[in-house]
Every structure is written in C-alpha cells, then in structure tokens.
A and B are shown apart, each in its own frame.
Chain A
Amino acid sequence: MMRAVLPLPRVSLMVFVLWAVITNAASFGLLVLGAILAIVIPLLSRNFWPTPRPLLRPWRGLRFLGLFALDIITANWRVARQIIGPLHRLAPAFVEVPLDLRDPFIATLLGSIVSLTPGTVSIHVDQQRWVLLVHALDAPDPQALIDEIKERYERALKEIFAC
C-alpha cells in the first residue's frame, strides 16, 4: 500500500519541502497542494529515476554536510587569494583521480562536491576505467590532491551510502 502511493519517499519529501520553501508555507491550502504534488510527481516520473541507494548513515551524512559547508568557505578564501595574487606562481594541472566506488550516481555526487571545493573542477567521470578527471587551479603536488579528495570525500560518501 505504502509502496504504491509513495514509490520514492525521498523524492516526495524533497518536492514537499521545496514547495513549502518556495511558497513560504503561507497557508494550509498551499501545504495541501504541496502534499498532492509530492504524491503525483513521483508517480508520474517514477521511470526516470535511477534506483536509489540506501542511505545507511543519515547522521554521518548530516555531519558530512556541515564539513562540506565549511570546506566551501575555506575553498573560496583560497581561490580568492589565488585570483588576486600573482598568476605566474599558479601551477594549473589536469589530475586523474582513480575511484574506488562503482556507482554512477555516487560518482556524480562526488564530482559535484569536488567542483565546489578547494581549487578543483571535475570535468569527466570515466565509467569504464572509473577515473575522475579533475582540473586544479593550483596543484604543485598532484598526488597530495588525489589523496585529499579520496580521504576527505570519497571515503565519507562510501560510508554514508554503503557501496
């Protein structure tokens, strides 16, 4: 019964919260409309979603989100200094990060996280060789960058989603 009405509970929750935020949760009627949308949209778009991975450790996930927010801020200080500072001292480089995870969705998530944090933009996820191609604004030591990405983000994602 539950499965039939809410095939994708996380998507439904997301739709509902987003609706409440956009409309500022102004009235009860709008919330009811949001609930209807949260049921109808997943039912209609069920076939387009990838099979969801079980979220094994939600609290670890929340802590990771906090760490990620702090990283975004420090990343911006670093990039800001590099942009204003002397350009000839920068050492831009393409770096290939070998991945341990084997899930396309989680790999995409990792790519997005890498794009928003310290001096790196992810360019391509190679799903044959499972390599993440990254461009770094300033990477005098590529191996250190690879270790940082794997230690800091990939391991956390693997723990949270259990893959």
Chain B
Amino acid sequence: MSTATELIISTLIVLGALFVLLGSVGLARLPDFFMRLHGPTKATTMGVGATLLASAIFFSVQDRGVSLHELAPLFFLFITAPVTAHLLAKAALHRKSSGDTSGQAAQASEHEPGQH
C-alpha cells in the first residue's frame, strides 16, 4: 500500500468517525425531537458512508482483487435513512396530536397482567 492511498484511507476513516460523533452530539444536544432528527439522518449516514468507502478502498488495494461489496450497505443506508426519519417524524406528530397520554395508555395496556 502506497503512502498516498494510506493517507486517503486514514482521512476517510477519521472524517467518517468525526461525522458519526457529530450526529450523536446533535442527537444528545438539540432541544426538540424534530431538530434531533436531523443529526442521525444526515451526519451519521454520511459518517458511516465514509467509513464504508475507506473499507472498500482498503480491501481493494490488498491483492485479493477489487472489493465492491461495501457498496451494498452504503446504498442501503442512504435509501433507508430518509424512510426511518419520515416514519419517526410521523409517529412523533401522531403522538403529539393525539396527546402523549394516549400513547402511554397504549403501552400500559401492553403490560397489563391477566390479558393473555
């Protein structure tokens, strides 16, 4: 492995981890649920994407031939991140509009003994 490729892989790995951390900082720090949604959908997805890309380059420059299979989870994550965000936002809106108590009632009834 040449120094140049090593530099590229190292940069991608550190950048990716940094973005993963940023996504979680957003998740922990932002004050409102809909704002918290932004961190994991964008920063985390891109961070994991960069890590997977680094892994693809790393295994491609070993002498086992081109390694493309990291592209599958990459593709999958970029497709599912908006869907997850969309569903979570919908669930949050639904709970807000129907009042928080009804949601908790639904959970409580799940744990009620003697129902089965």
* CB neighbours of B39 from chain A (8 A): 79, 83
Report the bound CA distance from A20 to B75 in whole Å: 14
Q: Could you tell me if B37 and A121 are in contact, using CB atoms closer than 8 angstroms?
A: yes
Q: Could you tell me if A122 and B82 are in contact, using CB atoms closer than 8 angstroms?
A: yes
Tell me whether chain B's interface is mostly helix, strand or loop, or mixed. helix
* CB neighbours of B66 from chain A (8 A): 24
B41: which of A20, A22, A83, A115 is its contact (CB, 8 Å)?
Answer: A115
Q: Can you identify 8 A-B contacts, CB atoms within 8 angstroms?
A: A18-B72, A20-B68, A21-B72, A76-B43, A83-B38, A87-B31, A113-B82, A122-B85
Q: Could you tell me if B82 and A22 are in contact, using CB atoms closer than 8 angstroms?
A: no
Interface size class of B (residues with CB under 8 A): 35 or more
The B24-49 residues at the A interface (CB cut-off 8 A) are: 25-26, 29-32, 34-35, 37-39, 41-43, 45-46
Distance in Å: Cβ of A59 to nearest Cβ of chain B: 21
Report the bound CA distance from A73 to B75 in whole Å: 16
Q: Could you tell me if B82 and A115 are in contact, using CB atoms closer than 8 angstroms?
A: yes
* CB neighbours of A84 from chain B (8 A): 22, 25
Say whether A143 faces chain B, with CB atoms less than 8 Å apart. no
Using a Cβ cutoff of 8 Å, how many contacts connect chains A and B? 92
Distance in Å: Cβ of A84 to nearest Cβ of chain B: 7
Say whether A75 faces chain B, with CB atoms less than 8 Å apart. yes
* CB neighbours of A113 from chain B (8 A): 82
Say whether A25 faces chain B, with CB atoms less than 8 Å apart. yes
B35: which of A73, A123, A137 is its contact (CB, 8 Å)?
Answer: A137
Report the bound CA distance from A161 to B38 in whole Å: 29
Report the bound CA distance from A53 to B31 in whole Å: 41
* CB neighbours of B43 from chain A (8 A): 76, 79-80, 83
- List 5 tightest A-B contacts by C-beta distance, closest first: A115-B82, A112-B82, A83-B26, A123-B89, A137-B38
Find the B residue at minimum CB distance from A112: B82
Q: Could you tell me if B69 and A22 are in contact, using CB atoms closer than 8 angstroms?
A: yes
- Mask, B43-80, CB within 8 Å of A = 1, is 10110000000000000000001111101100100110
